[in-house]
Each structure stands twice: as structure tokens, then as C-alpha cells.
Structure 1
Amino acid sequence: MPGRRVGRWLVAVPMGVLALATIYPLLFTANVAMKTRHDYVLDRFSLARSPNLDNVTAAWTNVGMERYVVNSLIVVTSAVALLLLIGSMAGFALSHLRFRGSRAVFLGCLAALFVPFQVIMVPLARIMADGRLLDTHAGLVLAYVAQFLPFTIFLMTSYYTGVPGEIVDAARIDGNTPYGVYRRVMLPLGRPALLSVGILNTLFCWNDVLISLLMMPSADHRTLMVGVTALRGQYSDDIPVFASGVLVAALPVLVLYVFFQRQIADGVTAGSTKG
């Protein structure tokens, strides 16, 4: 019994320190956002004397963050919808439809996970420029789909591999085409995985800066995260306003994580527990 208690403490203490190290930057940013510029210059680590939302209002109105939020919502929603549609179809095909080259396709998707975006960013930009897709929502959506599709296919294939083949055979005997099996059987069974992968892809796309900065050079089409980085340059001497912008950008992600943390954990571990 004492040994078990010591073991629990050996796990709890490092996890507590890690949690504190993760939460502290968020609390520090929120505290700075509630300060005036004068108070921050005097003492950046003290608690805000008279907390207010003036900096949040300034960051929202003076820089046009509402436009950045709309751009992010359009791009992220479209990209995640395409990722789930294509990824679920490919996952079903690679796990239950036997065709020549299916193993090579899956291994190719797996290999694509190890290719950093920095390796393909220049060719991607050239292709998008030739297709007149630079500085457009459609171009950024396609870039996100190209970047995160291998991850989506891998997780959906891993999940669908755990679905018994007898279920697919029974659906085919009932007269369903492969598309009918996908729509009537695999989509309902894959809802947990689709939810997990959808949340992860939403976080990836929402938090992205590099791809969006490459694909959206003009200020009018910036996403929220790129807009926040521009806010740092515009208000380099007004850190509380910049901190307010960071807080606004992080709030949707925090809300999403609070409500769907179990699904996020399931999505991260799906590939290691299935087939």
C-alpha cells in the first residue's frame, strides 16, 4: 500500500507541474489583457489593479478582428467538411474494399505524414499561383485539405479496420452498392471517429499561421491567427492590446477543448488502438 501511494505521487507531482506550466501562460495573458498600458509598463507581473475590457474592445475594433474571425470560420468550416468527406470515403475504401494498389496507397498516406510542410511550401505556392488560387478562400481550403488529409485518412482507416467485415458483407448481400454501404453503414458507425478527427482538424486549421500566411498575403483575407501576429507588429509598444488579441484568438479553441476533451484524446489514440 505505501508503495502504491508513492507511485501515485510520482505520477501526480510531474503532471501537476506540467498542468501549472500549461495554465500559467494563459492566466498571465488574461491578466495583461486586463491592464492599462501604464500599469503594464510599471509592473508587468502584478495583478491588474482595475480589470477592464477596453483592450479587448480596441483589439476587436481598431484592427478589424471581426473580419479575421469570419475568414477563419469560412476557411476552417469548409476545410474540415472536405477532410471528413474525403477522409471517411478513403478510410472505408482502404479498410474494406480490396483493390490493386490499396496497400501502396495507404503506405503513401502514411509516408506523407512525415513530410514537413516547409519541404513542399514553395512548390505549393507556385501551383496555387499558376491556378490563380493565391489570396482566395478556396486556395487556402485546398491547401489545408492537402496538408491534413493524410492524417485524416490514416485515422479513419485505422478506425474502420476495427469494423467487422461481416457487417459490410451483410450490407452488400442486402443489395447495397459500395456507396450505399458507406452511407448507410459506415458513416453511422464512424461517427465517434469523425467527431474526434473533425475536432483535431479544426484545431489544426484554426491555429495555423504558416500556411495561411503563405496563401493569404493581403490583409483583407487574413485568418484570425495571422491577424493576431500582425497585431503584434502594429501595436508593438502596447502589449495589453496584443495580449487581448491573443486571448480572443485562443478563446474558441479553449471552449472546444473543454467540451470535447474526451473526443480529442480518443482521436489522438485511435491510430494506436485499431488494426
Structure 2
Amino acid sequence: MSGSRLTRWVVAVPMALLALATIYPLVFTTNVAMKTRREYVLDRFSPATSLHLDNIVTAWTSVGMARYFANSLVVVTVSVAVLLLLGSMAGFALSRLRFRGSKALFLGCLAALFVPFQVIMVPLTRVMADSGLIDTYPGLILAYVAQFLPFTVFLMTSYYRTVPAEIVDAARIDGNTTYGVYRRIMLPMGAPALLSVGILNALFCWNDVLISLLMMPSADHRTLMAGVTSLRGQYSDDIPTFASGVLIAAVPVLVVYLFLQRQIADGVTAGSTKG
């Protein structure tokens, strides 16, 4: 066997095993969701004999997954919109405007990326409680914006620094104000980065459990992932229904990954370019 073929096998085999380890839990969860409770108790590892969709219908209607799904959709949509607006404006200011403290501000955003949420969750919860924002949509949205804004600012600043300065200078010569340069030049040119960062932030917010549990303690306001965690205790004796809830929560994320893989990869590497 030639050296190149051996190298390919050395890379391909671990990657195949990793892919199998990643796909198997989803296949197993789908198989369990298709079973009746009796079939699961008798043999949890055997293939489902038929497409039993009653568990998914029960999880969507009776368990409350539809309400959790709507809550997540509202919170994620508003949070991502605010993050993109603030992140693009801050990225433009830090990359193209020269003002006192701009470098320190950028370094502060960069340093905030290394602060785990567990370090700030107690003071954040107390501030939110004192402000009357616990168990409200604005409170959860503000928490998401505060948590993921440094990441958004960092990536947008790095991307805007790759835009040639001549384009900005030409826009100013044409009579554009600072806001005009941002709206007419930088915002359209930053569309690829905004799309990538928006997808990543949407996934971060959608998959979050800890912040949602802290900000939304009541059952009516829970997001989808927090709702799934509550099913574990409520339906511990009905594993097929619990698996159906997990499947409902996982499907939107899988769809995003399948159709927007390139944009997600671009977003991950957007901040690696040299400014």
C-alpha cells in the first residue's frame, strides 16, 4: 500500500468512526420515538416495527412543545436581529472610525469572550430580578444579547477590517456621512459575514439551556431546549414521548446545518483574517 493511500486511510477511519458516533444517537432517538411504550419496554434497541407518530403528536400538542417552539422562535429572532444591528454598527466603528479608546474597547470585547457565563450568572440574575425582567421575553433577549454581543462585535470588526480603505474614502468623497458609509457601503458589503454570524448566534440562542432556565423559570415562558429538559423528569416513565420531544428540538438545528454548512464554516473562520 502506497504512503498516500495509507495516509488517507489513517484520516478516513477515525473520521468515519466519529461520524458514526455522532449519527448513532440521532438514529437511536428517532427509532425510540417511533415505538410504543410497550415496544420500548420489551426491547429498546430493536428497530421500530412501524412509523408510530402518536408520540410526536402528543409531545407537540399535549406536552407543550408547540408553545416552547413558539417561545424559542420569538426570542431567537429578536435576539439575532438586535445582535446583528449592534454588532455591525460596533464592528464598523471599531474598524473604520478612529477615536480615543477604540483599541481598548476592542480588546475589552475580545477579553469578554474568555469569561464563562457561570462567572457572571449570579450577578446577572440579581440585576435582572431587581429590574423586574425575570420571566419576561425582554429579559431573556437582553441576556442573550449581553452574552453573545462580544463574539458578534469581534467577528464583524475583523471582517470590516478586510474591506479596502479606498472604498470607504471614495464614499466619503462622494459626500456620504459616517452613517451613509455604514448604511450604503459597509452594511451591504458585510452581508456574507452578517449571514454567517447570524446563523451562529441563532444556533447559540436556540441550543441554550442555562440562560433560559435562569431567566424563564415559569413553564409558560420556557424555550424549546429548556422545555425538553423539563420532560426528562415529567416523562421519565414514557421514554418514547421524551424522545419525541428531543427529536422536535433537534430537527431545526439539523436542517440549518444541512442547508447552511458553508455559511457556518465561513462564520467560524471570519475572525481569523488579519486586519
For residues 196-235 of structure 1, the aligned pairs below 5 Å read: 196-235=196-235
Measure, in 2, the Cα distance between the counterparts of 1:2 and 1:174.
Answer: 61
User: How far does residue 173 in structure 1 lie from its aligned partner after superposition?
Assistant: 1.1
Equivalent residue pairs, number: 275
SS of 1:51's equivalent?
A: coil
For residues 1-275 of structure 1, the aligned pairs below 5 Å read: 2-275=2-275
Which residue identity lines up with residue 95 of structure 1 in the other structure?
S
Measure, in 1, the Cα distance between the counterparts of 2:274 and 2:237.
Answer: 51
Query: Does the Cα contact within 8 Å between 1:88 and 1:153 map onto a contact in 2?
Result: yes
TM-score (norm 1): 0.98
Query: Does the Cα contact within 8 Å between 1:84 and 1:152 map onto a contact in 2?
Result: yes
Bigger shift: 78-87 or 171-180? 171-180
Which residue identity lines up with residue 163 of structure 1 in the other structure?
V
Which residue identity lines up with residue 222 of structure 2 in the other structure?
R
Runs of 4+ off more than 4 Å: none
Measure, in 2, the Cα distance between the counterparts of 1:14 and 1:191.
Answer: 36
Measure, in 2, the Cα distance between the counterparts of 1:75 and 1:95.
Answer: 29
Measure, in 1, the Cα distance between the counterparts of 2:74 and 2:61.
Answer: 20
Measure, in 1, the Cα distance between the counterparts of 2:50 and 2:193.
Answer: 46
Identity of aligned residues (%): 80
User: How far does residue 273 in structure 1 lie from its aligned partner after superposition?
Assistant: 2.6
Aligned-residue RMSD, C-alpha: 1.0
Query: Does the Cα contact within 8 Å between 1:159 and 1:274 map onto a contact in 2?
Result: no
SS of 1:175's equivalent?
A: coil
Measure, in 2, the Cα distance between the counterparts of 1:222 and 1:69.
Answer: 9
User: How far does residue 274 in structure 1 lie from its aligned partner after superposition?
Assistant: 3.9
Structure 2 unaligned spans of 5+: none
Bigger shift: 61-70 or 99-108? 61-70
Q: Provide Cα deviations, 1:35-82, integer angstroms capped at 9, x if missing partner.
A: 111111111111112221011011111112111111111100000000
Measure, in 2, the Cα distance between the counterparts of 1:47 and 1:274.
Answer: 51
